[in-house]
């Protein structure tokens, strides 16, 4: 069977905005609401990729799963949506953004694709429920549910002396479940000082009681690597070491839920050429208490409150502590007579280091599953990280005076589908960011983050899937992005105007064998904020294949088949042709 297309599901309304101008924006929503009759519980769309769809993609990285979604651009530790790298990523309810990184580096290594039950993506929204740093959106990753005994092993090797090994096991007895996972990966890299070594461990204890469900999770990740630098500014001796520990306690009873997390991350940077030896340690503690109820005729009401506490210890700076408290309220209505849904909400946050915010969200949806149109507006606040303000590296100076970004996101979405044969989704968006936090590179090869002008992202996301009854299927995601700074008129770095990702899949008729040809295109993109250097446009081709029978699968993958030389949008050198091959065992 060909892989199913991306689906949309419905989940409680989320989003964010400031109070200013909210009443005028709500007037047309309220007018439409007056036309509706008594309401029942309603929900809004989100993009979901479930376990079967993940397996059908035949990929070994979470980034390759996310890149099948239009507007999403992901790497091994990075992700952006509609041009914004301010994306909140949660694994089983707790954030896995690295608090010691510049732009919320994502610790995707906490979990392997084989252990994921589903991925839910909220493009351009999610801040109302999940907090700051979500102007690009929110990604929710859920680990697999378990049977009585389940486990798996995976090994692969490849070019550049790459080696990977992972294993996981899960046991259930009565109401109790325990599972754990280990993994390790290393590679010499494709240029001088590009070697990497990573190790991870994961453990979970869960109890499904009659009235209360609880789970306790723990993750640890170590990452040691060289920093090769840009081709014109090489750093052959620069090194980076990262460690992150994450734990979370989740409690659910009826309509109430409590999520508590504790994250600690340590990053060390060294470079003898610059006599650099710096460290930064960030500790984060968070609590979210939420409830949902349905007071007729007001639809579904969601409410929550909680707080965040953070502490940074960095060499060269005194210890810094910050905290925030938040409260949110959201309501979603669905008409019993018309295919109409309305949602609105507010999130208020008080900070110890920044001015307080009140961020609203509004959304209207018309139509049903076979055809739907929706209009949404959100505003979110992006706070500068401790790392951007207080840490020094071989390529960056600190800036303790950084302030918040403010993002307004407006989106119009249309979607239609015909059973499992084909689906088409189109989104037009216009996002405005004030005081954008931008890395500004000087001619010395050093830069720092600054609040840099008024930025506009506008464009289009298009996703098309076609699954005929034969062995061939097509899945493509295209994005158009116009990203400029309004004050300077300059194009933003690492933002290609056109981007396309297409999978052409062939499934053998008699053998459990699938082969996928991947085609990617990115137009040229600026590599410096002053637009003096650009990375040329590029076409990239790759192929991956998998044979799967009786719980054993053999897989292989080749990237950059044409072996072209190109640059990433940040100006660093991208890899040449690479390959990997391996085996997976499931029981």
Polymer length of the chain: 587
Domains of the chain: 7-586 (2.40.170.20)
204-218 residue pLDDT tens: 999 988 889 999 999
Residue segments in the chain with a per-residue pLDDT below the cut of 70: 1-45, 102-104, 145-148, 369-370, 419-420
Neighbours of 209 (CB within 10 A): 11
- Please report which helix (H) or strand (E) contains residue 53, including its range: helix 51-57
- What pLDDT score does 155 carry? 96
- The CA distance from 44 to 124, in Å, is 13
- What pLDDT score does 103 carry? 65
- What pLDDT score does 45 carry? 62
Q: Are 524 and 537 in contact (CB under 8 A)?
A: yes
- What pLDDT score does 326 carry? 97
| Tokens found for residue 472 | 């061939």
Per-residue DSSP letter, 4: P
- What pLDDT score does 28 carry? 37
- The CA distance from 501 to 121, in Å, is 17
3-state helix, strand, coil in the chain (%, to 5): 5, 60, 35
- What pLDDT score does 506 carry? 93
- What pLDDT score does 393 carry? 77
- What pLDDT score does 369 carry? 65
- The CA distance from 264 to 253, in Å, is 28
Q: Name residue, tokens 């959100």.
A: 378
Per-residue DSSP letter, 160: T
| Tokens found for residue 159 | 């070019």
């Amino acid at each position: 069977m060909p892989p199913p297309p991306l689906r949309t599901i419905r989940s409680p309304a989320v989003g964010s905005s400031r109070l200013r101008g909210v009443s005028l924006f709500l007037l047309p929503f309220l007018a439409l609401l007056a036309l509706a009759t008594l309401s029942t519980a309603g929900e809004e769309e989100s993009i979901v990729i479930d376990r079967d769809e993940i397996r059908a993609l035949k990929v070994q990285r979470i980034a390759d799963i996310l890149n099948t979604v239009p507007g999403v651009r992901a790497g091994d530790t990075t992700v952006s949506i509609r041009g914004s790298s301010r994306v909140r990523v949660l694994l089983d309810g707790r954030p896995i953004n690295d608090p010691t990184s510049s732009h919320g580096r994502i610790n995707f290594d906490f979990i392997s694709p084989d252990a994921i039950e589903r991925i839910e993506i909220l493009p351009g929204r999610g801040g109302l429920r999940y907090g700051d740093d979500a102007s690009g959106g929110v990604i929710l990753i859920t680990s697999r549910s378990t049977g009585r005994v389940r486990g798996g092993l995976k090994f692969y090797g490849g070019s550049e002396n790459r080696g990977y090994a992972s294993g996981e096991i899960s046991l259930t007895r009565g109401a109790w479940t325990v599972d754990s996972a280990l993994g390790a990966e290393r590679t010499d890299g494709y240029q001088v000082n590009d070697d990497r070594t990573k190790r991870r461990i994961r453990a979970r204890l869960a109890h499904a009681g009659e009235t209360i469900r609880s789970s306790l999770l723990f993750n640890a990740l170590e990452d040691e690597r060289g920093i090769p630098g840009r081709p014109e500014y090489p750093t052959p001796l620069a090194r980076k070491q990262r460690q992150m520990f994450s734990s979370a306690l989740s409690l659910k009873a009826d309509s109430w839920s409590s999520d508590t997390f504790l994250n600690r991350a340590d990053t060390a940077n060294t470079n003898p050429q610059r006599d650099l030896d710096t460290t930064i340690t960030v500790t984060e503690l968070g609590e979210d208490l939420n409830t949902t109820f349905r007071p007729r005729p007001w639809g579904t009401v969601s409410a929550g409150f909680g707080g965040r506490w953070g502490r940074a210890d960095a060499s060269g700076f005194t210890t810094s502590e910050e905290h925030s408290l938040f409260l949110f309220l959201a309501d979603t209505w669905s008409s019993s007579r018309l295919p109409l849904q309305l949602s609105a909400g507010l999130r208020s946050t008080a900070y110890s280091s920044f001015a307080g915010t009140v961020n609203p969200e509004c959304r209207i949806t018309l139509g049903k599953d076979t055809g739907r149109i929706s209009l949404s507006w959100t505003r979110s606040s992006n706070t500068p990280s401790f790392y951007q303000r207080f840490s020094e590296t071989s390529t960056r100076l600190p800036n303790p005076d950084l302030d918040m970004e403010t993002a307004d996101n407006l989106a119009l979405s249309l979607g239609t589908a015909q059973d499992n044969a084909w689906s088409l989704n189109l989104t037009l968006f216009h996002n405005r960011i004030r005081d954008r936090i931008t890395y500004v590179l000087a001619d010395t090869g050093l830069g720092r983050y600054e609040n840099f002008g008024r930025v506009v992202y506008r464009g289009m996301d298009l996703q098309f899937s076609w699954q005929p009854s034969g062995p061939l299927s097509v899945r493509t995601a295209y994005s158009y992005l116009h990203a400029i700074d309004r004050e300077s008129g300059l194009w933003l770095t690492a933002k290609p105007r056109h981007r396309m990702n297409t999978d052409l899949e062939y499934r053998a008729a008699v053998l459990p064998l699938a082969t996928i040809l991947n085609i990617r295109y990115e137009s040229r993109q600026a590599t410096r904020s002053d637009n003096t250097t650009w990375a040329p446009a590029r076409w990239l081709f790759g192929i991956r294949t998998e044979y799967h029978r009786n719980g054993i699968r053999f897989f292989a993958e080749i990237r950059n088949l044409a072996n072209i030389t190109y640059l990433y949008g940040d100006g660093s050198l991208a890899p040449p042709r690479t390959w990997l091959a391996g085996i997976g065992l499931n029981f």
